Structures are given as C-alpha cells and as structure tokens.
Amino acid sequence: MADDDREQSEGAVSRRAFLKGGAAATGALSATLMPGVAEAQLPLAKDADPRLTTVDLRVNGVAYRKEVPNSRTLVEFIREDLKLTGTKVGCDRAMCGACTVILNGRNVYACSMLAVEVSGGDVTTIEGLGTTDALHPIQQAFIEKSGFQCGFCTSGQIMSTKALLDKMPRPTEDDARLLMSGNLCRCSAYKRILESVMTASRLLQA
Ligand code: FES
Ligand code: FES
C-alpha cells in the first residue's frame, strides 16, 4: 500500500500529511501573491531567511517572541525552544495525545500544529498548572487515585482533564470516557485515569 493510501486508510491526519498540506497551502498563497508584485514590495526584508518566521506565543502566562523554522511544530517550540519538557511526544502523528496542551481554551495535539500557525495564541502546558509545592487539584487527584503507571501519557491526560472540567465541571463517567478518548495510555491505566478525572471534578467543586 502506498504511503498516501496508508495515511488515508488509518482515518487520521498524520503529521506528514498535515505538513504536506501546509506546504501546498503555502505554495497556493505564493501563487496568489507573486504575480505583479515587485520584489521590493514583498514584506520580507531583503536579507531575511524565508525559511524562518517570528512567532509570538503566550505560554503559561509568559509572552515569548522567537524566530523559528517554518516547519517547527508547536510541541518542538515548547520542548526545544522553551525547554518545557513536561509535554511528551509519543506518536508524533496526532494519534496518542501525549503531546496535549491547551491552546486558547481547547485541548490540542501540539505535535500536529505548526508554531507559525498558532502565533498569537495562548498556551497552557503541564508546567502552567501547579508547582511542586502547590499541586493543582487535578494533579492531586491523579496522585490520590494513582491515575498512571509509567507516567508517559500523564501530562497529556491531565491537560485534557483540565480542558474537560473547564467546560463541563460535573461530567458523568460516560462523558469523561468520551471526552478523554483522544488520550491513549499504553499501560492501559484507564480505570484509574477515569477515577482520577471524577475525583478531580469533586476536588474542584469543594
Ligand atoms: S505525540 Fe502528538 S498525538 Fe501522539
Ligand atoms: S501511564 Fe504509561 S502510558 Fe499511560
């Protein structure tokens, strides 16, 4: 099976397909802008590297401005440029949820978005929830209910729990199962993760 066919048959948007789409979109944009536009009118400075773009992002309440390669994903920006390594990379293909962060109030897969695409946005990572001395109630709940085994998926599970409870403070177990279904756990700790989500809901109501 050809790679493109395999990507479609998996029923998911792989990062590769996503980036291919981004490249196609960039090409289409260039084709729209270029005819009749004199070189001197182009917005890039003469010596600017067209492969780089300045990105503005607010992360955990701090404003950052960085020039990054156009192909830099949001998770690379967070982990490599900002050194916030609590956000993990599992599949790197928009399938596991390990890279989940909250962008403008929604939980998203940070491996499948380009930093330039979300410039101007507001991001919360696991480092923005609590501190070692003052854990967030969701973090407390995951500890209380042992909602993890190896811990690799845990930051993503907690960020999705935060997005869920911000929108639906009192979910049923079925709601929680459905709304957490984008976060996989290779240790299969789902029962305890669900208990953690429900406990976090109670702690946040207290
Ligand atoms: S690493 Fe992003 S969804 Fe798996
Ligand atoms: S606790 Fe190991 S992957 Fe979820």
Tell me the torsion sign for CA atoms 195, 164, 181, 82. Answer: negative
Is residue 74 within 6 Å of ligand 1 at its C-beta? no
28 and 65 fall within a common domain: yes
Instruction: Label residue 73 exposed, middle or buried (CB < 10 Å: 0-12, 13-18, 19+).
Output: buried
Mean pLDDT (whole number) for 36-52: 62
Residue 12 belongs to what domain range? 3-35+47-128
Looking at the 3D structure of the chain, how many domains does it have? 2
The answer to whether position 82 is within a domain reads yes
Is the confidence at residue 99, as pLDDT, over 60? yes
DSSP 95: S
Is residue 194 within 6 Å of ligand 1 at its C-beta? no
Strands 62-69 and 52-59: antiparallel
CATH (domain of 184): 1.10.150.120
Is residue 97 within 6 Å of ligand 1 at its C-beta? yes
With the most atoms of ligand 1 within 8 angstroms of its CB, the residue from 14, 18, 103, 109 to mutate is 109
How many whole angstroms separate alpha carbon 196 and alpha carbon 141? 5
Q: Which ligand is nearest to the CA of 14?
A: 1
Mean pLDDT (whole number) for 80-95: 98
100 and 149 fall within a common domain: no
- pLDDT, residue 48, reads 82
Tell me the torsion sign for CA atoms 158, 163, 169, 173. Answer: negative
CATH (domain of 123): 3.10.20.30
pLDDT tens digits along 149-195: 999 999 999 999 999 999 999 999 999 999 999 999 999 999 999 99
Mean pLDDT (whole number) for 103-111: 98
Q: Work out which ligand 1 atom sits closest to the CA atom of 92.
A: 1
Percent of the chain exceeding pLDDT 90 equals 74
Is the confidence at residue 41, as pLDDT, over 50? no
Residue 109 one-letter amino acid:
Y
